[in-house]
C-alpha cells in the first residue's frame, strides 16, 4: 500500500539501501541550525515523514514524547528495531491530508517536517499547510526543511520556494520566526549541489482554531 501513496515513489523499492544510508546521518548534525527552537522542557512532538526514526529518537532522548508518522512500511519496521523507546508512538499516515492523525484531535508543541515538503505538488501543499496549522498548540512551532537541487532517479520531488511556503503558512495564521539556508550534511548530496532552506513558524497564542 505504501508505494501507492503520492510522494513515496521510489522509496519502498529502495528501502534497504536507504535505511543503511540514513543510519549514518546524525540527528545533532542534521538539525543543529534549528535545535534552539525545540522546547527545553518535556513536550509533545509530531514528526511527519519520520523515515527510520532518527529524529524521533533524538527528540525522545531529549525527554520529549513523540508521535512519528511514516507511510512506508519498511521504514516504520526498521525504525522500531533501531530505536525502541516508550516515548515514541508510530503511526501509518501520510501527507497531504493526514486523515488518521487529524481524527485523533491531538495538538502538539512542535510539528516537524524534515525533508518531506518537496514531495507534494502545489495543491497538495495548500491542503497540507492547513493540517500543519491545525496540529499546533497555541505558541507551538513548526519546523520545515525544503530541498533544492537535482532529483534522484525514480523520485517524485518539486522545487518548492521559501517564499511560497511562507505565504501558505501566513495564510493559515503561522508566523515566520526564522529562515536559514544550509548545505546538505550528506557528502554525496553536497557534491551534487543539494542545499536546504529551513523555516521555523510559530502559531501565535491568540490564533483561533
Which tens digits make up the pLDDT trace of 91-131?
999 999 999 999 999 999 999 999 999 999 999 999 999 99
pLDDT digits (tens, 9 = 90+) for 127-159: 999 999 999 999 999 999 999 988 877 778 898
Residues facing residue 182 across a β-bridge: 196
For residue 3, pLDDT beyond 50 = no
Please name each of the domains of the chain with its CATH number.
2-202 (3.40.50.150)
For residues 7-14, give the mean pLDDT: 63
pLDDT of the residue at 18: 78
CA dihedral 14, 17, 23, 27 (to 10 degrees): -40
Contact 144, 201 (CB under 8 A): yes
Cell numbers 539501501 label which residue?
17
pLDDT of the residue at 149: 84
pLDDT of the residue at 183: 79
For residue 24, pLDDT beyond 80 = no
Quick one: which of 49, 46, 96 has its CA closest to 75?
49
Higher-pLDDT residue of 186 and 62 is 62
Q: Which of 181-185, 186-190, 197-201 shows the lowest per-residue confidence on average (mean pLDDT)?
A: 186-190
Q: Which of 16-20, 49-53, 161-165 shows the lowest per-residue confidence on average (mean pLDDT)?
A: 16-20
- Residues 85 and 66: their CA atoms lie apart, in Å, by 10
- Residues 122 and 85: their CA atoms lie apart, in Å, by 36
Binned at pLDDT 50, 70 and 90, residue 2 comes out as: very low
pLDDT of the residue at 9: 57
Amino acid at each position: 500500500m505504501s508505494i501507492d501513496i503520492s510522494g513515496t515513489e521510489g522509496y519502498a523499492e529502495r528501502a534497504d539501501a536507504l535505511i543503511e544510508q540514513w543510519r549514518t546521518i546524525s540527528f545533532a548534525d542534521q538539525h543543529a541550525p534549528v535545535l534552539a527552537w525545540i522546547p527545553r522542557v518535556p513536550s509533545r512532538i509530531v514528526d511527519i515523514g519520520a523515515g527510520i526514526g532518527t529524529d524521533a529518537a533524538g527528540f525522545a532522548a531529549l525527554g520529549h514524547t513523540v508521535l512519528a508518522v511514516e507511510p512506508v512500511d519498511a521504514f516504520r519496521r526498521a525504525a522500531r528495531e533501531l530505536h525502541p523507546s516508550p516515548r515514541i508512538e508510530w503511526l501509518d499516515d501520510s501527507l497531504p491530508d493526514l486523515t488518521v492523525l487529524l481524527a485523533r484531535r491531538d495538538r502538539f508543541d512542535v510539528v516537524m517536517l524534515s525533508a518531506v515538503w518537496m514531495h507534494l505538488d502545489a495543491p497538495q501543499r495548500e491542503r497540507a499547510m492547513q493540517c500543519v496549522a491545525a496540529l499546533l498548540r497555541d505558541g507551538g512551532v513548526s519546523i520545515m526543511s525544503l530541498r533544492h537541487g537535482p532529483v534522484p532517479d525514480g523520485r517524485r520531488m518539486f522545487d518548492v520556494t521559501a517564499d511560497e511556503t511562507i505565504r501558505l503558512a501566513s495564510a493559515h495564521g503561522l508566523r515566520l520566526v526564522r529562515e536559514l539556508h544550509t548545505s546538505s550534511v550528506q557528502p554525496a548530496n553536497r557534491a551534487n549541489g543539494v542545499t536546504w532552506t529551513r523555516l521555523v513558524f510559530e502559531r501565535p497564542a491568540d490564533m483561533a482554531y
